[in-house]
A and B are shown apart, each in its own frame.
Chain A
Amino acid sequence: MRYIVLLIALLTPISGSAQEWEDRRLFGASDQISLTILSSTDTSFFAPIIDDFIASNPNTSVEYLVTGTADLERTFRAAPDRFDVVISSAMDLQLKLTNDGFAAPILAEDHPEWAQWHDRLFAFTSEPAAIVINRRTLGDLPIPQSRQDLIELLRGHPDRFQGRVGTYDVRQSGLGYLFATQDARASETYWRLMEVMGRVGAKLYCCSGQMIDDLRQGKLVVAYNVLGSYARKQAETSGDLLVILPSDFPITMMRTVLVSENAANPRRAESFVRHLLTVQAAGDPKVFPLPPLVGDYDNEAQRNINLDPALMTYLDQMKREAFVREWENAIVQDE
C-alpha cells in the first residue's frame, strides 16, 4: 500500500507534493521503489555509488532525495518510516537522531571505531571547511592562508569586499551551524571574523552549492566555511576558484549515514550502507567521488569532529538561541 501511495506521489508533479526537494532522482529499471535515500549530498556525488550498488543488486531501484541538512532532519523526524537511508553532513543532527532512537543497528566490524557511533551511525567521508576565493575578482590582493589573514584582508579593504563576501546562514543550514559552533568552540577568531564579515555586508547562504555558484560568477570574492569537497569539484572546471584550508585549524566534518529504525526495506538499506562503507574503504574515485575517511592528518591542528554525545550540546534549545543571537549580533547589521 505504501508503495502505491509513494508511486502516486512520485508520478504527480513535484509542485503537487507537500515536500519541495532540491533534487530527486530515480535509479534502476524497476518500477517499484525498493530503497529510499534521504540525503543532503548533491546527486552527482552519489550517482556512481548508487549505480554501482544497483549493478551488484539488480532488480533494485533507488529513489534519491536531496534537501538541506536542517530540513532533512525535520523531514525525517516527522516521517521516519518513509525513508530507508539517511545521509547528512550535519553530524550533530545525525547523532541526535541516532541518540533519540531513529537509527537501526548494523554490524560493521571492519569500519574504524572512531568513525561509527552506537553501531548505528557511520561516517564515510572526511571533508574540511574551506575558504574559497575567486582569484579573478580578488585581483592583486594577497591570498589569505588563515582566518587571521582573512580578517586583516577584509579590514584593510572594506570597499573591495562590500557585499561580496559569503558564508552559511547558520539559522537555515544545519551544516553551517555545525561549522560555526565548532569554529567558535575552537577559537575566539571566529567571532571577530563574523563581525568583520558583518561590517562588509556578508551574504548568507543556505547551501554550499549556491555559494560556489555565486563565487564562480564573480558575485562573491571570498566565501568562508564552504565545503571543500564541493568547491574542489567546481575548481576543476573553473580555473578562477581557489580552495584554501585555513592553516590555523581546518574544521573537518565527516558525512554520516544511518538506516531508519522504521525503514520499509531494512535489509536492502543495510546492504546499501555496507556497500557504501565498502566502496569508501576501496577508495576508487570513479565509484566513490567523495573524499574518503582520513583518521590522521599531517597538519596536527586538523582533526575530525568527534562523533560523540557532546555534538548535541549546541543543539540544546537555549544554547542554540544564545548562539544564533550572538551570531546575528555579529553578522546581521543591516536590519
Chain B
Amino acid sequence: MTADVIVSGSLRNRLAFILTGGAALLAVILYVAVRLLAAQVAQQGQDNILNASMSSVLDTALIRDGRVTVDFPYSSLSMLNTAADDRVFYAIYEGENLLSGYDWLILPRDVLSERTHFGTTTFRGDPLRVATGSRVLIGSDGPRTVSVSIAQTQDALSDTLYSSSRSVAFLGLGFFLMSSALALWAASTTSGQMRRLATSVTRRGPQDLSPVTKPVPSEMAPLVGSLNTFMSRLDHTLSQSEDFIAEAAHRIRTPLATVRSHAEATLQRVDRTENRKSLQAMVRAIDESSRAAGQLLDHAMVTFRAENLEVSEVDLADLLDELVLSMTPVAEMKDITITMTLDRPATLQGDAILLQNALRNLIDNALKYAPAETDVIVRVSKSPSLSVSISDGGQGFAVDEIETLPGRFVRGKNMGNKVGSGLGLTIAQEVAIAHGGKMTLSNRKEGGACVTLSF
C-alpha cells in the first residue's frame, strides 16, 4: 500500500537532525563562552597579582638625600611565584630615566594616570603581561614621577586555560551526547505514535471502515479526524450504493415476475411457431434478468452481512441436507443425481444465512452446467481442514479463466447458452473470505468442475 506513496524525507530524521544539530551548536557555544570567561577570569587573576606586586614596589619609592630610592620588599617578587615557574621582569623609571630593572621593558606612554595600566608585550617570543603604575613624589625641587612596570610570562595562565578548556570540552561533549540521546529518544517516540496509528489502520480487514478509536496525540488529531470522516463518508457511500442496487434489484424482480406470468399465459394461447419462439425467448430473457436481480440482491446482502457476521454454531452437513432436499426437484427435472459424502458433524462458527447462500449458489451452478444423467457430488471433509467441495460432470473451467472467474459479472467461455449473472462465484468467495477461509476452483481429472470452500 505504501509502495505508491511519494516519500519526501522523514519526520523522525528531521526531528533528530534539528535536535542534535541544535545540541551541537549549543555545546560549541557553551565551550566558547566558558573558555572566554575562563580566559578572562585567569587574566584577571594574573592582573590582580601583578597589580599588587607593582603597587608594593611603587609604595616603597621615596626621596632620600635628593635621590629617588625604591627599596621594595622581598614579597614583591615572591608573590609572583607560580606553579609553572613564570619568569618575572620589572623596570623602575623616574620620568624617562631607568632607575633599575630591565631597560627593554619600556613604559607605555599613557601611563601617567592614577590607574594601573595593563598591557601585553613579548620577550624573545614569549608573551608577557605587564602592569604599570606611577606615583608622583614631591621633592624639594618639585614633583618627580616614579613609574614601575612588572611583567610576567603567561605559562601558568596557559596551563590553567588548557586544563579548564579540557574540562569544558568534556562538559560540552557530555552535554552534546546527552542531548543527542534525548533527541533520538524524542524523535523515535514521536514517530512511534505515527507508526502505531499506521499499523492499526494497516491491520484492518478490507471491509473495516470503522473510525479510529484509540487515543492519539493532539497534533495527530486533525489527521485522524479527517481520516475518520473520510472513512465514514466512504462507508456511507458504499452502503448507499449497495442499498441502491438491492432496492433496484428488488424493484425490478416483482414487475419481471408479472411480465413472466403474462408471457407464460400468452404462450398458452399462441399457436404460431414463430410467435411461440419469440415468446419463449422472452421468457428466457426474463428468467435471466430476474436471476441476475436475485443474485444482485444476494450479493448486496452478502456484502452487508460480511461486515457484521451473525455468528452461531452451524453444521454444514445439516445445512447441505436441507439445501439438497430443496433442490432435488430441479435436479430430477434435468436427470441429475446429487450424491453427498458428508463427514458429520461438520460444525463451524459462522453466519448460517451467508453459508447457505454461498452453497446454494454453488450447487445451483453445478446443476446448471452438469449435463443430463450425470452426478453432482457434494462432499464435506474435516481434514486437513473443514472444507466443502461441489463438483459436476460438465465441461469444467477454462484453465486460463480460473484466476478471473470469481470477479464480479465475469462469466466463463464454457457456459454455452446457460442463464447466469456472473455473481455466483463472487458471492461464494466473499462468504468464504468473511469466514476467514478461501475458495479454490479446479477441474477434475475425469472431467468437470470442482469448487472447494475451505475454512
Q: Which chain A residues in 175-223 approach chain B with CB under 8 Å? A: 185
Chain A interface: which of B7-15, B85-93, B229-237, B363-371? B85-93
Query: Is B72 interfacial (CB-CB < 8 Å)?
Result: yes
Q: Which chain A residues in 277-335 approach chain B with CB under 8 Å? A: 306, 308-310, 312-313, 316-319, 322
| C-alpha spacing A98/B87, complex, angstroms | 8
Smallest CB gap from A120: residue in B:
B85
Select A319's contact among B72, B78, B87, B123, beta carbons within 8 Å.
B72
Given A185-B74, A310-B75, A310-B78, do A99 and B101 touch, yes or no (CB 8 Å)?
A: no
| C-alpha spacing A181/B220, complex, angstroms | 86
Q: Mark B67-81, 1 if CB is under 8 A from A, else 0.
A: 001111111111011
Excluding A309-B81, A313-B77, 11 further A-B contacts by CB distance (< 8 Å) are A99-B88, A306-B78, A309-B80, A310-B81, A313-B73, A313-B76, A316-B72, A317-B99, A318-B92, A318-B100, A319-B72
Select B89's contact among A99, A306, A310, A313, beta carbons within 8 Å.
A99
Number of interface residues, chain B, beta carbon within 8 A: 23
Query: Is A232 interfacial (CB-CB < 8 Å)?
Result: no
Query: Is A101 interfacial (CB-CB < 8 Å)?
Result: yes
Query: Is B203 interfacial (CB-CB < 8 Å)?
Result: no
What are 30 A-B contacts defined by CB distance under 8 Å? A98-B87, A99-B87, A99-B88, A99-B89, A101-B123, A117-B85, A118-B86, A119-B85, A185-B74, A309-B77, A309-B80, A309-B81, A309-B86, A309-B88, A310-B75, A310-B76, A310-B77, A310-B80, A310-B81, A312-B77, A312-B88, A313-B76, A313-B77, A316-B72, A316-B100, A317-B99, A318-B71, A319-B70, A322-B69, A322-B71
Query: Is B124 interfacial (CB-CB < 8 Å)?
Result: yes
Contact of A308 with B70 in the complex, beta carbons under 8 Å: no
Q: Please indicate the chain A residues that have their CB under 8 angstroms from the CB of B86 in the complex.
A: 118, 309
| C-alpha spacing A99/B81, complex, angstroms | 12
Q: Please indicate the chain A residues that have their CB under 8 angstroms from the CB of B73 in the complex.
A: 313
A117, A185, A319: residue with the most chain B Cβ atoms closer than 10 Å: A319
Q: Mark A105-124, 1 if CB is under 8 A from B, else 0.
A: 00000000000111100000
Smallest CB gap from A181: residue in B:
B74
Smallest CB gap from A116: residue in B:
B85
Select A118's contact among B72, B87, B124, beta carbons within 8 Å.
B87
Q: How far is the CB of B69 from chain A (nearest CB, A)?
A: 6
Q: Please indicate the chain B residues that have their CB under 8 angstroms from the CB of A98 in the complex.
A: 87
Contact of A319 with B75 in the complex, beta carbons under 8 Å: no
Q: Please indicate the chain A residues that have their CB under 8 angstroms from the CB of B89 in the complex.
A: 99
Q: Please indicate the chain A residues that have their CB under 8 angstroms from the CB of B78 in the complex.
A: 306, 308-310, 313
Q: Please indicate the chain A residues that have their CB under 8 angstroms from the CB of B69 in the complex.
A: 318, 322
Contact of B88 with A316 in the complex, beta carbons under 8 Å: no
Smallest CB gap from A311: residue in B:
B77
Q: Please indicate the chain A residues that have their CB under 8 angstroms from the CB of B75 in the complex.
A: 310
Select B74's contact among A310, A317, A322, beta carbons within 8 Å.
A310
Q: Please indicate the chain A residues that have their CB under 8 angstroms from the CB of B88 in the complex.
A: 99, 309, 312
Contact of B85 with A118 in the complex, beta carbons under 8 Å: yes
B71, B80, B86, B124: residue with the most chain A Cβ atoms closer than 10 Å: B71
Q: Please indicate the chain A residues that have their CB under 8 angstroms from the CB of B80 in the complex.
A: 309-310
Q: Mark B100-124, 1 if CB is under 8 A from A, else 0.
A: 1100000000000000000000011
Contact of A318 with B99 in the complex, beta carbons under 8 Å: yes
Q: How far is the CB of A187 from chain B (nearest CB, A)?
A: 14
Given A312-B88, A316-B100, A322-B69, do A101 and B74 touch, yes or no (CB 8 Å)?
A: no
Smallest CB gap from B124: residue in A:
A101
| C-alpha spacing A192/B275, complex, angstroms | 165
Smallest CB gap from B61: residue in A:
A318
Q: How far is the CB of B102 from chain A (nearest CB, A)?
A: 8
Q: How far is the CB of B306 from chain A (nearest CB, A)?
A: 88
Smallest CB gap from B64: residue in A:
A322
| C-alpha spacing A43/B421, complex, angstroms | 130
Q: Please indicate the chain B residues that have their CB under 8 angstroms from the CB of A319 in the complex.
A: 70-72, 100
Smallest CB gap from A182: residue in B:
B74
Contact of A313 with B74 in the complex, beta carbons under 8 Å: yes
Q: Please indicate the chain B residues that have their CB under 8 angstroms from the CB of A309 in the complex.
A: 77-78, 80-81, 86-88
Q: How far is the CB of A320 from chain B (nearest CB, A)?
A: 9
Q: Please indicate the chain A residues that have their CB under 8 angstroms from the CB of B100 in the complex.
A: 316-319
Select B72's contact among A99, A308, A313, A317, beta carbons within 8 Å.
A313
Q: How far is the CB of A100 from chain B (nearest CB, A)?
A: 8
Q: How far is the CB of B52 from chain A (nearest CB, A)?
A: 14
| C-alpha spacing A252/B323, complex, angstroms | 126
Q: How far is the CB of A120 from chain B (nearest CB, A)?
A: 8
| C-alpha spacing A313/B73, complex, angstroms | 8
Q: Please indicate the chain A residues that have their CB under 8 angstroms from the CB of B81 in the complex.
A: 306, 308-310
Q: Please indicate the chain A residues that have their CB under 8 angstroms from the CB of B71 in the complex.
A: 318-319, 322
A306, A309, A310, A318: residue with the most chain B Cβ atoms closer than 10 Å: A309
| C-alpha spacing A309/B77, complex, angstroms | 6
Q: Mark A83-101, 1 if CB is under 8 A from B, else 0.
A: 0000000000000001101
Q: Please indicate the chain A residues that have their CB under 8 angstroms from the CB of B70 in the complex.
A: 318-319
Sort A-B residue pairs by CB-CB distance and give the 8 closest, nearest first: A310-B78, A118-B85, A317-B100, A309-B88, A308-B81, A310-B77, A318-B100, A309-B77
Q: Please indicate the chain B residues that have their CB under 8 angstroms from the CB of A117 in the complex.
A: 85
Q: Please indicate the chain A residues that have their CB under 8 angstroms from the CB of B124 in the complex.
A: 101
| C-alpha spacing A316/B76, complex, angstroms | 12
Q: Please indicate the chain A residues that have their CB under 8 angstroms from the CB of B123 in the complex.
A: 101
Q: Please indicate the chain B residues that have their CB under 8 angstroms from the CB of A310 in the complex.
A: 74-78, 80-81
Q: How far is the CB of B435 from chain A (nearest CB, A)?
A: 87
Q: How far is the CB of B51 from chain A (nearest CB, A)?
A: 16
Q: How far is the CB of B259 from chain A (nearest CB, A)?
A: 118
Q: How far is the CB of B143 from chain A (nearest CB, A)?
A: 20
| C-alpha spacing A185/B78, complex, angstroms | 13
| C-alpha spacing A306/B71, complex, angstroms | 21
Q: Which chain B residues in 125-176 approach chain A with CB under 8 Å? A: none
Q: How far is the CB of A34 from chain B (nearest CB, A)?
A: 28
Q: How far is the CB of A238 from chain B (nearest CB, A)?
A: 38
| C-alpha spacing A306/B81, complex, angstroms | 10
| C-alpha spacing A117/B84, complex, angstroms | 8
Q: Please indicate the chain A residues that have their CB under 8 angstroms from the CB of B77 in the complex.
A: 308-310, 312-313
Smallest CB gap from B125: residue in A:
A101
Smallest CB gap from A322: residue in B:
B71
Q: How far is the CB of B388 from chain A (nearest CB, A)?
A: 94
